[in-house]
Amino acid sequence: MTITTDYTSAEYNSFMSEAEADVLIPELEVIYGSMDWLTLTTAEKESWLKYATVQVNDIDWNGDLNAAVIAPNMTFPRSGLTYKTGQAVDPDSVPNDIKNYMTCVIINTAINGTTTTTGGSTPNITTGEIKSKTVGNVTIQYTTSADTGGTSPTTTTTEGLDSNVCLDTYIYSGWLTGDTSELGLGSICRIRGLC
């Protein structure tokens, strides 16, 4: 199923289009780390956009859902929301704050706990094979990268951004309703008085 951002459609399934994501995600990759968004296929991008939309839909929001939204479980656009400045949020569009939050969630999820292996040359034989054995007093030696003529690869683990940072950074707390503890925000709410 393709991405549909027309909130009056029964097929509405994403708060952000692929074209918008192609601009926003590379901008935030500079800050949060690269997931190589522009190298993904359309199907992969659509999956990520739907995933991030579900994450938005899982939050309890203040305000009222726009009456023109007929797709089930979609939570934007909404009326009755204001920015921190007091300016009303357009009730007929998805706020950029939501799109930035989605972008942050996508990047965070994509790079969270990923492991990248780089370097190392292709060995002539497989490491871990028996290199020599001795029957009397049993001695077994296994091949290592030094025996193969290759070099060992380097493994780097990248820690992803805490997803609470996405909510804290892009969503005004006045938009949130009720208990946010299921989002892992309890401590942020108590410490900063955001909720």
Q: What is the pLDDT of residues 69-82, one digit of tens each?
A: 999 999 999 999 99
- The alpha carbon dihedral of 6, 11, 15, 20 has a sign of negative
Q: What is the DSSP string of 26-86?
A: HHHHHHH----GGGS-HHHHHHHHHHHHHHHHTS-BSSEE-TT--STT---SEES-B-TTS
Domain parsing of the chain, residue ranges:
18-113+159-192, 118-153
Is the whole model's pTM more than 0.75, yes or no?
Answer: no
pLDDT over 90 percentage in the chain? 54
Number of CB atoms found within 10 A of residue 184's CB: 12
Tens of pLDDT along 103-157?
999 998 888 745 444 554 444 444 444 555 544 445 555 555 555 555 544 444 4
The mean predicted confidence, pLDDT, of the chain is: 77
The whole-number pLDDT of residue 146 equals 57
Q: How confident is the model over 47-71, as a mean pLDDT?
A: 95
Q: Is the bond preceding 95 in cis, omega lying within 30 degrees of 0? A: no
* Averaged pLDDT, 168-193: 62
pLDDT of residue 191: 30
Give yes or no for a contact between 171 and 101, defined as CB atoms under 8 angstroms apart: yes
d(CA 108, CA 41): 19
Question: In the predicted model, is pLDDT for residue 172 greater than 80?
Answer: yes
Q: What is the pLDDT of residue 104?
A: 92
User: How much is the pLDDT for 161?
Assistant: 54
Residue 55, pLDDT > 70, answer yes
Amino acid 116: pLDDT: 45
Tokens of 8: 């009056």
Structure tokens at 35: 């997931």
